[in-house]
Amino acid sequence: MSESVSRDPVVEAYKAGVDRTLIRERLARTPAERVEDLVALARFAEELREAGDAARRAP
Amino acid sequence: MHPGWRRAATIHGSARLTRDVDVVYSRRPENLLRIVAALGPFEPYLRGAPRGLPFRWDVDTIAQGLNFTLTTTLGDIDLFGEITGGGGFDDLRPRAHPVRVFDRDVLCLDLPMLIRVKRAAGRPRDLDALAELEAIADELDR
């Protein structure tokens, strides 16, 4: 990163809760792979939502 | 058009799941025609508005407005003529770089600019996302 950013203490506090292992995993993939993964995850989340709706409708 | 900060965050390494796409679009007349043609088949409508409003998806509507939060048959799309802290398409263009996704190049804000506009938005609900973006910047600096 060539551009430094000033530190905001509130954001710094939130950063303590960020999972760095997830970030490193994401950074190991290409930008296209990251988007494809997001699409797959969104589809999975949608299927879960529909399954939940169906379960609530079931007698 | 190019993806704005949420999908751009994914491209930069965010692991957060988002349900919409943010696009900063050029306000040039020829581009308004392209936007109308591109989204028209997907039934764009004002997200959260009651059905039946006299909303017409055409160049006049876009020209008379600026930012639009839309629902479409593809999903939710936010169209921004300007974003806080970043300006319009021409202001942001020098800070956007082509990224190849789905066999086409899309323009994506660079990470420092993404962080800047996210901060400028100043929304408390974005603090987690902003923290993650800054953590990504930290990781890239390691």
Q: So what's the ipTM on this one?
A: 0.73
Return the percentage of chain B with pLDDT > 90, whole number: 63
> Which positions in chain A touch B14 (Cβ < 8 Å)?
26
Closest approach of chain B CAs to the CA of A58, in angstroms? 27
- Comparing CB atoms, the residue among A18, A25, A36 nearest residue B135 is A18
Closest approach of chain A CAs to the CA of B100, in angstroms? 6
Contact state of A20 with B139 under an 8 Å Cβ cutoff? yes
**B5-12 vs A31-57: helix axis angle to the nearest 10?**
120
Q: Three-state SS for B13?
A: coil
Q: Three-state SS for B55?
A: coil
Give the global pTM.
Answer: 0.79
> Which positions in chain A touch B129 (Cβ < 8 Å)?
none
> Which positions in chain B touch A19 (Cβ < 8 Å)?
15
3-state helix vs strand vs coil in chain A, percent to 5: 70, 0, 30
The span from the CA of B35 to the CA of B58, in Å, is 9
Q: What is the pLDDT of residues B14-56, one digit of tens each?
A: 877 777 788 999 999 999 999 999 999 999 999 999 999 999 9
Q: Name residue, tokens 């593809």.
A: B74
CB of B132 less than 8 A from some CB of A: yes
Dig out the tokens for B80 from the structure.
Answer: 């921004």
CA angle (A35 as vertex; B47, A24 as ends), nearest 5: 125
Q: What is the pLDDT of residues A20-45, one digit of tens each?
A: 999 999 999 998 888 888 888 888 88
CATH topology of domain B2-141: Beta Polymerase; domain 2 (3.30.460)
CB of B38 less than 8 A from some CB of A: no
